Amino acid sequence: MASTLLAINADSWKDTLPVMGIGMVGIFLVLGFIVLITYGLNKIFSSNKKDKKNDKKDNK
């Protein structure tokens, strides 16, 4: 019973390997996109906070 569950068909493995590769590339592309968007938003909005802190110090 266990041997039939663990049997690997080499032909189906070869057929599904490119699909798995495309899926993994897609995952890395989406993660990279999320990282870039997060970095960009952090860069944009963190500079605004620094400017506001400097303005408060100058007004005192």
Please determine, for residue 1, whether its predicted confidence score (pLDDT) is greater than 60.
no
Mean pLDDT (the chain) is: 83
Q: What's the whole-model pTM score?
A: 0.60
Query: Which secondary-structure segment (H or E) carries 57?
Result: helix 10-59
Query: What is the C-alpha to C-alpha distance for residues 23 and 16, in angstroms, rounded to an integer?
Result: 11
Condensed to tens digits (0 to 9), the pLDDT of residues 7-36 reads: 778 888 888 999 999 999 999 999 999 999
Q: What's the confidence (pLDDT) of residue 31? A: 98
Cα distances from 7 to residues 12, 28, 31, 40, in angstroms, run 11, 30, 33, 48
2 or 38: whose pLDDT is higher?
Answer: 38
